[in-house]
């Protein structure tokens, strides 16, 4: 296979919500995706999308010059890179690893240095957007790493999003994602609180949402999560517990810089209570359920579809 053919083959490790969406988009754009996940059922799903399964991270690394990591935590990333049958154990290694995991910036910088010593470039390409937004090409990518290497992946960026920002050296993607997530999470919390308040006042939640979007109170969280909150459909596109992990990193990094984040501390407490109540694996819009629990009484959903969802435990 020629150089062009090799470039059209992309490795993918981690086929969860984000990884599945990334794989689907790449296959639709004509890329050959070779993937691995510890969960065999996810690899079955990858096969149904048109991807090809591998039996280890090393096997993916040996097959591709560019490899995307869609993993939950920095610890998992380290295991995939350095563990038994990890990327660095492969007889042939990719030239570029693209990490989408939201990690501490210093962890990303350390990984970039480790990979650079092995002749591999790291781009930390964090994603602002849910799996549904990724599938629709509506997510935003924030990339850290060498500018020339970033440009060499233009075909991947073009497939994944029309909005890609190169933010600076390795670690910059992580910094950008945490700053975005601080604002995004608070927008989502404010929307949920406003909808619960409107319902307590006797307003129809869907009418209130329509009103919010027409006023200066508007945020894009209303477009992405508003209908879910109104209808009570909390099928996960981005899990609540995963966002709590990001809020924890935000608070830790702020504390290291002696910065107070009073709104984010309140947000973390609400998320902790939601997780304790069993909502951690639901979509992050399920933060509304916790606010309803704190509301004294639940006036109920605003339409029959919502009532059915609530009866099934959807909120």
Using pLDDT thresholds of 50, 70 and 90, give the confidence band for residue 48: very high
Q: What is the pLDDT of residue 33?
A: 97
User: At residue 309, does pLDDT exceed 60?
Assistant: no
Buried b (16+ CB within 10 A) or exposed e, 28-47: eeebbbbbbbeeeebbebbe
Superfamily (CATH H level) for 3-170: NAD(P)-binding Rossmann-like Domain (3.40.50.720)
Q: Which residue has the higher pLDDT, 301 or 249?
A: 249
What ranges do the domains of the chain cover?
Answer: 3-170, 176-311
Q: How far apart are alpha carbons 143 and 141 in whole angstroms?
A: 6
User: CATH fold of 176-311, please?
Assistant: 1.10.1040
Within the chain, where are the H helices?
Answer: 3-7, 17-28, 40-49, 57-63, 74-82, 105-116, 131-135, 147-152, 154-160, 172-200, 205-214, 220-231, 240-256, 262-276, 287-293, 304-311
**What tens digit of pLDDT does each residue of 113-166 get?**
999 999 999 999 999 988 899 999 999 999 999 999 999 999 999 999 999 999
Q: What is the pLDDT of residue 76?
A: 95
Q: How far apart are alpha carbons 307 and 31 in whole angstroms?
A: 43
The encoded tokens of residue 17 equal 């919500």
- Residue 297's SS3 state is coil
């Amino acid at each position: 296979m020629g150089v062009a053919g090799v470039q059209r083959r992309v490795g993918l490790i981690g086929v969860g919500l984000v990884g599945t969406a990334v794989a689907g988009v790449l296959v639709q754009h004509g890329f050959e995706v070779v993937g691995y996940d510890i969960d065999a059922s996810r690899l079955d799903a990858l096969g149904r999308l048109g991807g090809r399964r591998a039996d280890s991270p090393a096997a993916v690394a040996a097959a591709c010059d560019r490899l995307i990591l869609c993993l939950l935590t920095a610890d998992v990333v380290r295991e995939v890179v350095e563990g038994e049958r990890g990327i660095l154990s492969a007889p042939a290694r990719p030239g570029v690893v693209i990490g989408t995991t939201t990690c501490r910036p210093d962890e990303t910088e350390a990984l970039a240095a480790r990979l650079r010593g092995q002749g591999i470039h790291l781009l930390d390409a964090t994603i602002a957007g849910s799996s549904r937004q990724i599938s629709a090409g509506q997510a935003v990518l924030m990339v850290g790493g060498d500018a020339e290497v970033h440009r060499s992946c233009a075909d991947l960026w073009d497939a994944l999003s029309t909005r890609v920002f190169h933010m600076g050296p390795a670690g910059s993607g992580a910094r950008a994602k945490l700053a975005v997530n601080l604002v995004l999470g608070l927008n989502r919390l404010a929307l949920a609180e406003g909808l619960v308040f409107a319902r307590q006042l006797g307003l129809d939640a869907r009418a209130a949402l329509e009103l919010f979007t027409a006023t200066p109170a508007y945020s894009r969280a209303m477009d992405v999560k508003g209908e879910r909150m109104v209808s009570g459909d909390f099928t996960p596109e981005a899990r609540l517990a995963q966002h709590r992990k990001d809020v924890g990193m935000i608070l830790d990094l702020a504390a290291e810089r002696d910065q107070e984040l009073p709104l984010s501390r309140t947000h973390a407490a609400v998320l902790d209570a939601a997780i304790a109540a069993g909502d951690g694996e639901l979509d992050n819009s399920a933060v509304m359920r916790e606010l309803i629990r704190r509301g004294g009484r639940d006036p109920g959903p605003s339409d029959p579809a919502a009532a059915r969802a609530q009866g099934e435990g959807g909120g």
